[in-house]
Structure 1
Amino acid sequence: MAQVLEFKLPDLGEGLTEAEIVRWLVEVGDVVAIDQPVVEVETAKAMVEVPCPYGGVVTARFGEEGSELPVGAPLLTVAVGATDASSAAPGDDGAAAEEPSGGSGSGNVLVGYGTGAPAARRRRIRPERSTASAAPAAPAAPAAPAAVSAPSRPAPVAVAVGEVNGRQGPVAVVSPLVRRLARQHEIDLRGLTGSGPDGLILRADVDSAIRQAGQATEAATRTAAEPVVAEAPTAVASPSAAGAATPATAERIPLRGVRGAVADKLSRSRSEIPDATCWVDADATELMAARAAMNAASGPSGGPKVSVLALLARICTAALARYPELNSTVDTAAREIVSLPGVHLGFAAQTERGLVVPVVRDAHTRNAESIGAEIARLTELARTGKLSPAQLTGGTFTLNNYGVFGVDGSTPIINHPEAAMLGVGRIMAKPWVHQGELAVRQVVQLSLTFDHRVCDGGTAGGFLRYVADCVEQPAVLLRTL
């Protein structure tokens, strides 16, 4: 006899208390294997796939795509021991899932860990047999009283093949930001034609659909209001009538997920850290020449090129070795400055999901080539939304290259609970006095925002001046290599 087991949203680590359902990977009636990913969720730190510790037939899902669930809330129910009865019916296509191990699961609820059990082939129950597949789960319903007692949860019913939330067919969209934007404005993605590669729906496509919908609504409102204007012209100038139109044009965007986490961290940084900023212009001509020489020496197939960001990161680790006060944090409760032994260098990365700060672990033990390779790896994970919470936390110092946006300078907000952040503007040709003569040089602006509790201006200025000296004369670094 089948036993219905309830799988709850697990604790994904790093103190996260809730997650948003981005995409279901299984449907009611699917046969799942132990540790098979069943849902893609977005937390305040990363987007991850959650594996199910049970193997069997999915009998119910709790939560629609776009909704948030707290940790510990029911995620789905699985009929364990009913695989044979649901998959060995006459006339089946012969694709049978592997036998689940009774009522036992892997116990695995952490993303990225498996039990090594062989993966079962996914197979959806045919629509005409959906009633039969759901029947064995009914007698075992008392085993999961929580699922029965909550009236807001959907009943365990099978759905037709390819049907999700009442809509048919796949959607050519990858970005969770695009899906969320479409949900907020009630745009049906299945009615859009994507302008991206292979028909991929981009944010520009959704924005265009939103504008068209807004224009249509405005035209309909204007048409409906014409008789009223003719009968009572004074109603148009009425303050109450003008105020009534405001909600139709205002847009409310929830601060949650990555955006909400960034908002909380930046607000906390501003309220807790007495920050100050100093900046300096530096001649980066020699640094750019040194980088070109490094990459030329590696040859056409000599490995990855060294990026400017990697060189700046290596300069930062050398500067932090000289000025360790800036590689620290403040314990406000104990009123103590905590000096940290190693440098875990964060770097700001802009993605479709918002601003994230991946962390290069033990950057003080790496050379420029190693740092560059790790930055490239983490950047790719950030773009695809596959960074884990561990890769986004634990930083001790942050490097922010806002020059990629074409701006010269900024006063960055410290990434709480760190003590400092170095900002780098764009490197561009400017008139510069070089060796007593006016010349065109490659100039960059460097800005350091620091926690004034951990050091004074002399230390911060010394750090920034050393960074500028290394940018202007890369040979200075040889003394610390």
Structure 2
Amino acid sequence: MAEVREFRLPDLGEGLTEAEIVRWLVEVGDVVAVDEPVVEVETAKAMVEVPCPYGGVVTARYGEIGQEIPVGSPLVTVASSAAATGEGAASGAPTAQAGPAPEADTARTGGPGGAESGGRANGRAGEGSGNVLVGYGTSSAPRRRRRPAAGRAPVRRPAAVPHGGGRVQPPPGARATAAEGPPPVISPLVRRLARETGLDLRTIAGSGPEGLITRADVARAAETRAAETRAAETRAAETAAAETAARETAAARETAASRAAGAAVSGAGVRRVPLRGVRGAVAEKLSRSRREIPDATTWVDADATELLAARRAMNAADGPKVSLLAVLARICVAALARHPELNSYVDTDAREVVQLDEVHLGFAAQTDRGLVVPVVRNAHTMGAEAISAEMTRLTEAARAGRLSPAELTGGTFTLNNYGVFGVDGSTPIINHPEAAMLGVGRIVEKPWVHEGQLAVRHVVQLSFTFDHRVCDGGTAGGFLRYVADCVERPAVLLRTL
């Protein structure tokens, strides 16, 4: 007997309360496996493919493309065999569910050449003889289970889980882990994450549907073991920031609605573009930064000729190439070690400056969806080569719209390379709630006095914007001067490594 289950939009983390449907990956009547993505949504942070924790036949789906739906709203209902679903979920492997479908969907199946079965099966790249065939409805024609397009790895996201520590007790009646079998997880990625963090999955109680262990369970367990107290403070700060942002967003929407109601726009050539998704999140964050942070900017011109020569020498050796932005990022990390007060944020409620030991370096990246700031985690532990590789990975993911919310948040300092747009200088807006940002202009040939002689040198303008509540001009000037010295004489950096 088929069991019909309803899958709702899960909590996507980082205080996100809604998402916009971008593309449906399944149709009513399709057969889905456990953890197979069913819909692609866009949040204020990134594009996300949402996997369904149930396997079986899709009997209904809710929401249209372009519609914004809140967290907890129904996405799809899946009819599945309880026994088959349990086996597939425990092993983490795709499981085909067979059995009669609801009467309303019987007419969807046709003969072997029917549009419903053949059209979808042939429309998916990468399907072949290895696909699972499942009988559906009253027709004898088999149906193919939908799979992602070839060459495209689906992005897995955890289902909704309650906030708290890594050990979450499952609800009454949840499936327990069998002693002789593998622990039930929501996706194979959870097992890999557990191995990387050195955790035993049998010691973690799953908080997903029917006791499945999710990525969030493993991450919370590792975080609790490493720094429980600090993790609690961080979650509290993020919750407070999310609540404040939600209040401000609601107030802004009310103001916009009242203005729209009182203003009648007439004539041709008028087009309104809604501020939502990534563009809306950027607008909210920049506006909040301008309202709350009393910033100041200082700048200096530096001779980057020797820095370019040093980079050419590094890339002439065997091994991966190092980008110029990665070298500048490594210089920033060294400068923050000399001026740690700039790696901080202001807790306005407690009236305190919170200095951080770890450097999570953000860098601005322009994409088709707008400006995003991916974050290189623990940049203070990495060399220029490792930073360059991570920047390349994050940039490619940003342009493809595949960055997770965790890869776009938590930065402590930002590097902004606006020189790629062909400009010399800028006074950037600080990435709230950080305390500072370094801007790098284009490198151009200019007349320069070098060793007492006028010469043509490669010159770059560096601008440094800082929160004046955190430090005064002396500290900001010392930071910028050290960065400029490393640019002009890269050997200066070697003294701190």
Q: Normalising by the residue count of structure 2, what TM-score does the alignment of the two structures yield?
A: 0.67
Shift of 1:133: 3.1
1:5 corresponds to: 5
Counterpart-to-counterpart distance in 1, 2:438 and 2:123: 44
Work out whether residues 85 and 95 of structure 2, in 8 Å CA contact, stay in contact via their aligned partners in 1: no
Shift of 1:54: 1.0
1:329 corresponds to: 345
- Aligned CA-pair RMSD: 2.8
1:268 corresponds to: 288
Residue 326 of structure 2 aligns to a residue in which SS?
A: helix
Counterpart-to-counterpart distance in 2, 1:19 and 1:361: 26
Counterpart-to-counterpart distance in 2, 1:293 and 1:122: 59
1:415 corresponds to: 431
Work out whether residues 41 and 50 of structure 2, in 8 Å CA contact, stay in contact via their aligned partners in 1: yes
2:386 equivalent to 1:370: yes
Residue 468 of structure 1 aligns to a residue in which SS?
A: helix
Cα distance 1:47–1:245, how it changes in 2: closer, same or farther (>3 A)? closer
* Alignment match of 1:119 (pick from 94, 105, 123): 94
Shift of 1:2: 2.2
1:100 corresponds to: 84
Shift of 1:365: 1.0
Counterpart-to-counterpart distance in 1, 2:115 and 2:271: 33
Counterparts of 1:467-478 in structure 2, within 5 Å, are 467-478=483-494
Work out whether residues 31 and 57 of structure 2, in 8 Å CA contact, stay in contact via their aligned partners in 1: yes
Runs of 4+ in 1 over 6 A off after TM superposition: 159-163, 169-172
Residue 399 of structure 1 aligns to a residue in which SS?
A: strand
User: 1:100-152 deviations in whole A, cap 9, x for unaligned?
Assistant: 326x985xxxxxxxx642224699x9xxxxxx733189xxxxxxxxxxxxxxx
Work out whether residues 30 and 122 of structure 1, in 8 Å CA contact, stay in contact via their aligned partners in 2: no
1:287 corresponds to: 307
Work out whether residues 53 and 105 of structure 1, in 8 Å CA contact, stay in contact via their aligned partners in 2: no
2:60 equivalent to 1:22: no
| Letter of the structure 1 residue corresponding to residue 93 of structure 2 | P
Work out whether residues 329 and 418 of structure 1, in 8 Å CA contact, stay in contact via their aligned partners in 2: yes
Counterpart-to-counterpart distance in 2, 1:56 and 1:121: 7
User: 1:310-358 deviations in whole A, cap 9, x for unaligned?
Assistant: 1100000000001111100000000000000110000001111211111
Work out whether residues 28 and 157 of structure 1, in 8 Å CA contact, stay in contact via their aligned partners in 2: no
1:51 corresponds to: 51
Work out whether residues 398 and 422 of structure 1, in 8 Å CA contact, stay in contact via their aligned partners in 2: yes
2:68 corresponds to: 68
**Unmatched tracts of structure 1, length 5 or more:** 83-98, 107-114, 126-131, 138-155, 173-242
Cα distance 1:105–1:8, how it changes in 2: closer, same or farther (>3 A)? farther
| Letter of the structure 1 residue corresponding to residue 43 of structure 2 | T
Cα distance 1:275–1:133, how it changes in 2: closer, same or farther (>3 A)? same
* Alignment match of 1:135 (pick from 98, 103, 109): 103
2:273 equivalent to 1:253: yes
**Unmatched tracts of structure 2, length 5 or more:** 126-262
Shift of 1:428: 0.8
| Letter of the structure 2 residue corresponding to residue 71 of structure 1 | V
| Letter of the structure 2 residue corresponding to residue 286 of structure 1 | E
Cα distance 1:433–1:303, how it changes in 2: closer, same or farther (>3 A)? same
Counterparts of 1:206-355 in structure 2, within 5 Å, are 246-296=266-316, 298=317, 302-355=318-371
- Point out the structure with max Rg over C-alpha: 1
Cα distance 1:352–1:121, how it changes in 2: closer, same or farther (>3 A)? farther
Cα distance 1:171–1:264, how it changes in 2: closer, same or farther (>3 A)? farther
Counterparts of 1:73-222 in structure 2, within 5 Å, are 73-81=73-81, 100-101=84-85, 106=89, 116-120=91-95, 133-135=101-103
| Letter of the structure 1 residue corresponding to residue 5 of structure 2 | L
Work out whether residues 60 and 157 of structure 1, in 8 Å CA contact, stay in contact via their aligned partners in 2: no
Work out whether residues 55 and 97 of structure 2, in 8 Å CA contact, stay in contact via their aligned partners in 1: no
Work out whether residues 279 and 446 of structure 1, in 8 Å CA contact, stay in contact via their aligned partners in 2: yes
How many equivalent residue pairs?
353
* Alignment match of 1:400 (pick from 389, 412, 416): 416
Work out whether residues 81 and 97 of structure 2, in 8 Å CA contact, stay in contact via their aligned partners in 1: no
Counterpart-to-counterpart distance in 2, 1:383 and 1:55: 31
User: 1:343-399 deviations in whole A, cap 9, x for unaligned?
Assistant: 000000111121111111111111111111111111111121111111111100000
Shift of 1:56: 1.1
Counterpart-to-counterpart distance in 2, 1:12 and 1:448: 34
333-342 vs 60-69, which moves further: 60-69
